[in-house]
Chains A and B, each alone.
Chain A
Amino acid sequence: MRNNPVSIRFTSVFVTFIVCFPGVLLASEHLKDVQLWLEKMHRATHTLNYMGTFVYGQGAELSSVQLIHRTSKIGEQQRMVAMDGTGREVIRDGNKVMCIMPDSQAVVVSKVRPDKQFPPVFPITISNLTPYYQFSISGSSRVAGRKVQIISIVPKDDYRYGHRLWIDDKTGLLLKTHLLNSENKPVEQFMFTRIEYLDSIADQYLVPQNDGKDYTWYESKDGKKADKSKQVGMNVAWLPPGFKHDMKTLQKLPNTAMPVEQMVFSDGLASVSVFIEEELQHDPSNLVGSSKMGGVNVHGRSLGDYHVTVMGEVPHQSVQKISLSVAYTQADD
C-alpha cells in the first residue's frame, strides 16, 4: 500500500511539532523564570534595608567593603566604605552622590538623574536579548550563610561580558557576582561575607567617617544645565552588534571645565557611555589611552578641539573600537 504524500507531510509536520513544541515551551518558560529572578533581584537591590560586608576582586586584587543601604521618602540612601587602601567612601543620598577620595584629597559631589523615578523600573526584557546572550538557571548554592539561586548569562560573541549571579533565594538580593570574559574567567567579582536585613537603619550609619574638610571639593550646582545649542556634532560610527543609542545629555559636571556631552548606548544589558568634552587646550585631567575600573573599561583620546572618553561594562576591544570610531558630523558654533 502506498502512502499518501500529503499524509506523510502532515505526519512529519505533526511529529516535528510534537517533538519541538515542548522544547520551545520549555525554553520560553525558562526565560520567564530568569526574567522573574532578575526582576526580584532588581527590586531587592533598590528597596530593601540591609547592612553587610563584601569582598570585591578585580584581577589579583581583593578589597573589603562595608555597605549600608536603606530606602526612605527621598529614595535610596547608601554608604559604602572601603575597609582597606585609603578608605574611599561613596555616599548616595537620593539623587546626590558624594565620592570621598583620600588618595586624591578630593570630594566629588554629583547630582544625578533628577528625573529618575523611585523605585526604578526594571529595564531588561530577557526575550529581546537572546540574539546576544544565553540565559540559564544553574542550580542553587550558599553564600554568606544564605541559600542562593545561580543565574548564568553567557554572551554569544566577544564584544560583551558574561555574568554569573548568585541571588538570595528568599529576599532576591544579589549576594555574589562574577563578570566573565570570553574564556569564562572572572574579570571582576564581588561576594557578601556578611549580610543583615533590617526593618530600619539609623541615620548615624549613613554619615561619612571622613568629612573631607581639607580636601578639594568638586560639586555640581543646581541649575547648571548646559546650553543644549552647544551640543557637539559627533557621531559614533561603530557599535557592537545589537547596541543602540539610548540617550544623550549635555551637562556641567563637578570637575570638568566645560560642559560634557554624554551619549549612552546599550544592547539591552551592557551599556557604554561616550563622554565628549571641549578641550581647546591640553587638559591633564583627561585620560589619553586605556584604563579600567574593575569590569568597566575606559578609552580616551583627543579629537580636534574635543576630548572623547568611552567607558562601559564591555571588554577593552569594544570600548577602544567605539572610541576610535567617534568622528565629527558638524562643527560646534
Chain B
Amino acid sequence: MSEKLHEQISALVDNEVTDPELLIRQICKDTDLQERWRRHHVVHDVLNNQLSTTPVDLSQRISQAIDSEPVHHSNVSLTRVSQPSRARYIMKQVSGLAIAATVSAIAVISVQQTSISSSGSSQEVAGLNGNTTVAQAQVRFVNEPQKLDNKVQSKLSNYLVNHNEYSITSNMQGVLPYTRVVTTTDQRVVVRSINEK
C-alpha cells in the first residue's frame, strides 16, 4: 500500500478529497484499504472527541447501524444510477462500512470500558457498571492490538503454568492448559492503560 494512498484515505476521512469515487471503489475492493480506512476513522473520531466515554450498548449500536443501512441486492446495477447519486450511493456504502467498522473497532476497545486519546491528554473514564465500581482508569489508547513484548509473553507463560497448577478446569483437561503455552506465539495486547487508580 503506497504512502500516497494512505494520505488519500486520511484526506477522505476528513472530507478533503474532491473526487472520492475512484478511491472509494478501491477501498470497496481491498480489505487492507478497508482496515486502513477503519483505523483512520477511529483516530479521526478520537481527535474530534466523538468516541463515547460512557459504557456502550454495542448490540443497540450495531442494530442501529444495520437499521440505517439500505437493503443491498447483489443484482442492483450501478449504471442505472445517475452520476451524483451514484457517488452518494457508493459513499453511503462506504459510510455504512465505516459505521460497522467503527462499531467493531469500538467493540474491541470499548469492551475494555475505556476511552481513547491520541495525544497523551488522556480522558478519565468510568469504571465498570455493577455493584462494585472500584477503579477508575485514565487510559491511553492504542488504536489497534499490538504484539506483546517477548518479556511480557515469557512472564505470562510463567504465570499461566502456575495458574494451571491450581486451575480446576486445567486439572480436569490435563493436556489443554499447556497447549496454550506451546501455541501462543502471537499474543496481543488489546489496550494499554496507564495511571489506573
- B150/A302 in contact, CB under 8 A: no
Task: Point out the residues of chain A lying under 8 angstroms from B169, CB to CB.
Answer: 163, 269-271, 313
B20 on interface, CB distance cutoff 8 Å: no
- A324/B134 in contact, CB under 8 A: yes
- B165/A316 in contact, CB under 8 A: no
Contact pattern, B 157-193, Cβ under 8 Å of A = 1, otherwise 0: 1111111011111111111101111111111111111
Known: A90-B182, A190-B179, A268-B168. A46 touches B196 (CB 8 A): no
Taking the closest CB of chain B, its distance from the CB of A317, in whole angstroms, is 7
Give the number of A-B contacts (CB < 8 Å). 235
Interface residues of chain A: helix, strand, loop or mixed (majority) = strand
Per the bound structure, the CA–CA distance linking A268 and B170 in Å amounts to 12
Number of interface residues of B (CB under 8 A): 58
A320 on interface, CB distance cutoff 8 Å: yes
Per the bound structure, the CA–CA distance linking A88 and B160 in Å amounts to 15
Task: Point out the residues of chain A lying under 8 angstroms from B176, CB to CB.
Answer: 174, 177, 188, 190
Known: A80-B178, A218-B158, A301-B193. A123 touches B168 (CB 8 A): yes
Known: A45-B174, A290-B112, A293-B160. A101 touches B154 (CB 8 A): yes
Which of under 10, 10 to 19, 20 to 34, or 35 or more describes the interface residues of A? 35 or more
Known: A45-B173, A238-B131. A291 touches B189 (CB 8 A): yes
Per the bound structure, the CA–CA distance linking A324 and B189 in Å amounts to 17
Q: Please report which residues of chain B, range 104-150, place their CB below 8 angstroms from some CB of chain A when the two chains form the complex.
A: 111-113, 127-128, 130-132, 134-135, 137, 148-150
Task: Point out the residues of chain A lying under 8 angstroms from B173, CB to CB.
Answer: 45, 174, 177
A81 on interface, CB distance cutoff 8 Å: yes
13 cross-chain CB contacts under 8 A: A61-B186, A85-B183, A103-B185, A108-B161, A112-B165, A120-B171, A255-B158, A271-B163, A285-B155, A294-B183, A301-B137, A309-B156, A326-B134
B interface residues (Cβ-Cβ under 8 A, vs A): 111-113, 127-128, 130-132, 134-135, 137, 148-163, 165-176, 178-196
